[in-house]
Amino acid sequence: MIDYTGLYEFSPELIRLAEEAEKQCREVFRRIDGIAEYNEAKVLKAFTDHRVSAAHLVGTTGYGYDDMGRDTLDAVFAQALGAEDAIVRHNFVSGTHTLTVALFGVLRAGDTVVSVTGAPYDTMEEVIGIRGGGTGSLKEYGIQYRQVELLPSGEPDYPAIEEAAKGTKMVYIQRSRGYSLRPSLTVETIGKIAQAAKKGNPDAVVFVDNCYGEFVEKSEPVSVGADLMAGSLIKNPGGGIAPTGGYIAGRKDLVELCGYRLTCPGIGREAGCTLDQNRGMYLGLFHAPSAVAAAVKTSCFGAALFGKMGFKANPAYDAPRTDIIAAIELGSPEKLCAFCRGIQKGSPVDSHVTPEPWAMPGYEDPVIMAAGTFTMGASLELSADGPIRAPYSVWMQGGLTYGTGKLGLLLAAEEMERCGK
């Protein structure tokens, strides 16, 4: 454990707990490093196989025709993620936007999409049309929605998935937990869901919301039976460097359909200038495996530390990881807000700001968010958030470096000690 004397003054008890937590995590950290090294090799191989050069880092303007940097980045991403094809663009404004483009790209009026991992993330509920005014939603466009709940254990209901897939155009899987306490899904589990869905309907398109999961394991959902997946560049695959953007990857024919939704029929992915964004997206992907490893280590340390403080962490520090998120049940709104204040104090940007709950667009309850990040909303940077509703859990994620991520968690623990409620 680092001696922070002269920099930070933590209580002896907190330092003792942190030392014990870090010692507990040593074997877990070795496993994380092994996965990161494999993924770094995978990414480097994609760069070299596609002969990335300095010319690819330069963007285009206007229509963006013949943008070789853009087109090569698509190919590099596809190979690194194990997909046939990919679209990577800076003008995807969020993960929700990227997922929405994929949904509208593949689905047509009269089609049915079934979520087989229970209710989707809050912001996706308005996209689907099961909450909010419904303007522009799948529902308004005549696309039907159904849902298969997870079992009480949090495991997928495979027989129900097989049955629900019959007559369905798309099977929707959310890899990460969102604002729920169910387990995030491993790539192996996603493969089993895909197998069950294809057994019920071989023509069903298996689509995965892959946000928060890229490079946490050695493979991605498209390697185990998923047809399509999408994610955000201000999360894992942007490596903390890409300032915005998203990607869609998977079967070539489906990616092509998404390109027509991204722009318009007749143009698809052939146009779209990259301005000065190429370099950041290439560099971000290159750094992604190591940055993701730092975030997973931060998450594991946090689970161990707050477990020792008497709080329930999900997943536990030594549980297999498939995303960068850990949820901690804090039991009261006061502790939830104190945790977020501490994380904010440990942020490199806006550390002097005090986060407060607010009615964030797209969310059902007031949400408190701590995120002093270089990129607004970047979940790969240390951040924490949670809705103000029982059991007052906080979802923490990110940490571009393990050392600073650990410090942020110590400051969160210190703030909770002061809160005392």
DSSP string, 250-292: E-HHHHHHHHHHHS-TTTGGG----TT-HHHHHHHHHHHHHHH
**Which string of DSSP letters, residue by residue, matches 123-166?**
HHHHHHTSSS--TTSTTTTT-EEEE-PPPTTS---HHHHHHHTT
Tokens representing residue 368 in the block:
């408190």
Residue 177's pLDDT is what?
87
Residue 421's pLDDT is what?
57
- Rounded Cα distance between 286 and 237, Å, is 9
Closest C-alpha among 192, 184, 188 to residue 212: 184
- Rounded Cα distance between 356 and 255, Å, is 40
Residue 355's pLDDT is what?
95
Burial, 211: exposed, middle or buried (Cβ in 10 Å; 0-12, 13-18, 19+)?
buried
Residue 363's pLDDT is what?
74
Q: Which residues contact 342 (CB under 8 A, 6 or more apart)?
A: 370, 408, 411, 412, 413, 414, 415, 416
pLDDT tens by residue, 2-54: 889 899 999 999 999 999 999 999 999 999 999 999 999 999 999 999 999 99
Q: Which amino acid is at 277?
A: Q
- Rounded Cα distance between 227 and 250, Å, is 5
Residue 173's pLDDT is what?
98
- Rounded Cα distance between 334 and 419, Å, is 7
Low-confidence ranges of the chain (pLDDT < 70): 362, 421
Contact 311, 328 (CB under 8 A): yes
Q: What is the DSSP letter of 66?
A: T
- Rounded Cα distance between 225 and 74, Å, is 21
Q: What share of the chain is helix, strand, coil (3-state, %, to 5)?
A: 40, 15, 45
This prediction's pTM: 0.95
pLDDT tens by residue, 58-86: 999 999 999 999 999 999 999 999 999 99
**Ordered structural domains, the chain, with CATH:** 12-40+289-419 (3.90.1150.60), 59-285 (3.40.640.10)
Residue 50's pLDDT is what?
98
Q: Cite the beta strand spans of 29-148 per DSSP E.
A: 85-89, 112-115, 144-147
Distance of CA 55 to the CA centre of its chain: 30
